[in-house]
Amino acid sequence: GGEAVGFASFDDSPVLQQCGEIPARAWEQWVDDTCDLGKVPGLLPYNTIWLSILIAKATHADAVQDHVLNTLATTLPDMVYLLFAVPSSTGLFPPLLSIFRRLPEKVSTTLSVFYCTRSDILHDLHIRKGLVEDFDDLMPLLQAGDGVLTSPPEEFFLDETLEEQDDTRSVLVAEDPDTRQIVGLMCMAKSNDNQSYITKHYNTDAYNKLRSTDKEKSGPNCFQITFFYLNPEYESRAASFIKPAFAQFAGVEYCVITLPHTTTEHPLLHDFSYVPLKQGLTLPNGTWLLARQSVQPVTVGFTKEADIEEIEQLLDVQTDYSQEICIRLVETARNTTEAEPLEGDATPQQSQILSYALYDDTGTAVGVLNTRVLSATEVHHLRSNFELDQLVNFVPDGKPDYKAVDIDPNAPDNSHLSSEKMPALLVTHFYVKPTFRNRIRVFLREVLRQSCAQLMFYCLTPLDEASQPLLAELILAMPRRMIEEPNEDEVRMGDDSEELICLHFMSKKQLSDEKTKIYSRLVVIGASTTGLAAIYAWLKIPYLYIANIVLVSRDGVPPHPNMQDSEHWSVDTLTWLEREYILFKIGGKVRIIEGTMIDFERSDKYIVTDNGFVEPYDHLIITAGRQYTIPKDLAARNLAKNGMFELSSLSQIHKIKQHIRESEAYEDELSNAVIYGSSREVYCVATSLTQIGLSPSRLVIVSPEEPSEENSVFGDPAIDARIDKLMEGLGAKTYKGHILDRMEYDEDHNLNAVYILNQDGKDEKKKNKITEIPATMFVYCHEKDIDAQILSALNKRSIVFDGRVIVKYNYRTTDPNIYAVGPIAMFSGRFGPSEEFEVFNPLEVGTRFAETVLGFIGVEEFYESDEEEEVQGEGMSEVTPSKQTTPKALPQYKEKVSVKVHLPNGHYYFRCHTANYTEVASQCVSLTSSNTRGDSYITLCIGPNKYLESITYLGSEEIEIHNLMSLVGFPESLLNVVYSYEQSKNAQGQPTLDILQYLRSRWAYAVYHSAFTGFFATLKEKLREHEETRRLRAVISEHVTQKCDTEIDPTARSQILKAATADNSEVRKFIELEIIKFLHQQKQYFPKIYYLPDITSFVQQCY
Confidence of residue 378 (pLDDT cuts 50, 70, 90): very high
Report angle CA 838, 840, 846 to the nearest 5 degrees.
90
Mean pLDDT, the chain, integer: 88
Q: Report how far residue 221's alpha carbon sits from residue 234's, in angstroms, rounded to the nearest whole number.
A: 30
Task: Identify whether the C-beta of residue 66 lies closer than 8 Å to the C-beta of residue 105.
Answer: no
Is residue 523 packed enough to be buried (19+ CB in 10 Å), middle (13-18) or exposed (0-12)? buried
Cβ-Cβ contacts under 8 Å for 629 (sequence gap 6 or more):
646, 648, 783, 784, 785, 788
Find the helix packing angle between 529-540 and 842-857, rounded to 10°.
Answer: 60
Using CA atoms of 779, 561, 722, 963 in order, give the dihedral in degrees to the nearest 10: 160
> How far is it, in rounded angstroms, from Cα 129 to Cα 892?
57
Mean pLDDT of 54-83: 92
Query: Residues, the chain, total?
Result: 1103
pLDDT of 843 higher than 80: yes
CB neighbour burial string for 400-434, b if at least 16 within 10 angstroms, e if fewer: eebeebeeeeeeeeebbebbeebbbbbbbbbbbbb
Least Cα distance to 1035 among 1060, 1013, 1011 occurs for 1060
Q: What are phi and psi of 980, to 5 degrees?
A: -65, -35
Distance CA 823, CA 622 (A): 10
Predicted TM-score (pTM) of this structure: 0.91
- How far CA 957 is from CA of 715, 930, 934, 951, in Å, comes to 21, 11, 11, 16
Report which secondary-structure segment, H or E, holds 597: strand 597-601
H/E stretch holding 900: strand 897-902
* Distance separating alpha carbons of residues 400 and 214, to the nearest angstrom: 59
How far is the C-alpha of 499 from the C-alpha of 490, rounded, in Å?
Answer: 21
Q: What integer pLDDT is reported at residue 878 of this predicted model?
A: 38
- Measured from the Cβ of residue 582, the count of other Cβ atoms closer than 10 Å reads 21
Mean pLDDT of 692-699: 89
Residues 163, 180: Cα–Cα separation, whole Å: 21
Answer whether residue 555 shows pLDDT above 70: yes
SS3 191: coil
**Which of 301-310, 530-539, 639-648, 936-945 has the lowest average pLDDT?**
639-648
pLDDT of the residue at 887:
66
Do the beta carbons of residue 224 and residue 288 sit within 8 Å?
Answer: no
| pLDDT band, very low/low/confident/very high, at 871 (cuts 50, 70, 90) | very low
Task: Tell me the per-residue pLDDT of 97-149, one tens digit each, with 9 for 90 and over.
Answer: 899 999 999 998 889 999 999 999 999 999 999 999 999 999 998 888 789 99
Q: Which residues contact 698 (CB under 8 A, 6 or more apart)?
A: 666, 669, 671, 672, 673
Residue ranges of the alpha helices (H) in 842-948? 842-857, 917-920
Between CA 369 and CA 373, with CA 371 as vertex, the angle to 5 degrees is 155
**Which residues lie closer than 8 Å to 448 by C-beta, 6 or more apart?**
425, 454, 455, 456, 508, 511
Task: Taking each helix axis as running N to C, give the angle between helix 307-316 and helix 323-337, from 0 to 180 degrees, rounded to the nearest 10.
Answer: 170
CA distances from 832 to 769, 811, 840, 887, 891 (A): 43, 15, 17, 9, 12
pLDDT tens digits, 789-803: 999 999 999 898 888
* Contact of 915 with 841, CB cutoff 8 Å: yes
The proportion of the chain whose per-residue pLDDT surpasses 90, expressed as a percent, equals 60
Which residue, 436, 477, 438, is CA-closest to 456?
Answer: 477
Q: Do the bridges between strand 101-102 and strand 111-117 make them parallel or antiparallel, or are there none, so unpaired? A: antiparallel
DSSP conformation letters of 99-144 = T-EEPPBSS--SEEEEEEEHHHHSPPPEEEE--GGGHHHHHHHHHH
Residue 876 reports pLDDT greater than 70: no
Task: Evaluate if residue 636 carries a pLDDT over 80.
Answer: no
User: What pLDDT shows up at residue 810?
Assistant: 93
Q: Give the C-alpha separation, 566 to 563, whole Å.
A: 9
The pLDDT tens digits of the residues spanning 581-600 come to: 999 888 889 999 999 999 99
C-alpha of 791 from chain center: 30
Distance, CA of 223 to CA of 349 (rounded, Å)? 48
Buried residues in 443-482 as b, exposed as e (16+ CB within 10 A) = bbbbbbbbbbbbbbbbbbeeeeebbebbbbbbbbbbbbbb
Q: How far is CA 794 from the centre of its chain?
A: 29
Q: What is the pLDDT of residue 218?
A: 85
What confidence score (pLDDT) does residue 535 get?
A: 96
Is the CB of residue 373 less than 8 Å from the CB of residue 422?
no
Does the pLDDT of residue 488 top 70, yes or no?
no
Q: Is the pLDDT of residue 1091 over 60?
A: yes
Q: How far apart are CA 17 and CA 560, in angstroms?
A: 52
Least confident of 295-299, 561-565, 891-895: 561-565
Beta bridge partners of 930: 937
Contact 183, 231 (CB under 8 A): yes
Pairwise pLDDT comparison (1051 vs 772), residue with the higher score: 772
Whether the pLDDT of residue 498 is over 60: the answer is: no
Containing 738, the helix (H) or strand (E) segment is strand 738-745
pLDDT band per the 50, 70, 90 thresholds, residue 869 = very low
Residue 72, SS3 per DSSP: helix
Cis peptide preceding 707, ω within 30 of 0: no
What does the pLDDT read at residue 872?
A: 40
Q: Is 699 left (phi over 0), alpha (psi -120 to 50) or beta?
A: beta
Mean pLDDT of 289-303: 95
Residue (of 291, 296, 270) closest to 74 by Cα position: 270
Q: What confidence tier does 870 reach under pLDDT thresholds 50, 70, 90?
A: very low
Identify the residue with better confidence: 932 or 31: 31
Amino acid identity for residue 707 in this structure: P
Average confidence (pLDDT) over 286-297: 95
What's the pLDDT at 496?
43
| Per-residue three-class SS string for 414-436 | CHHHHHCCCCEEEEEEEEECHHH
pLDDT for the residue 495? 42
List all residues 6 or more positions away from 980 whose beta carbon is below 8 Å from its beta carbon: 993, 998
Cα dihedral across residues 246, 251, 253, 259: positive or negative: negative
Please give the pLDDT value at position 1047: 73
Q: CA 239 → CA 231, 234, 295, 544, 725, distances in Å?
A: 13, 10, 10, 22, 74
Closest CA to 856 of 890, 800, 816: 816
CA distance 1018 to 1012: 10
Helices (H) and strands (E) in the chain, counts: 31, 48
Q: Judging by DSSP bridges, how do beta strands 81-87 and 48-56 pair with one another?
A: parallel
Give the integer Cα–Cα distance in Å for 865 and 579.
Answer: 37
Read off the pLDDT of residues 388-426 as tens digits, 9 standing for 90 and up: 999 999 888 778 888 888 887 777 777 777 788 899 999
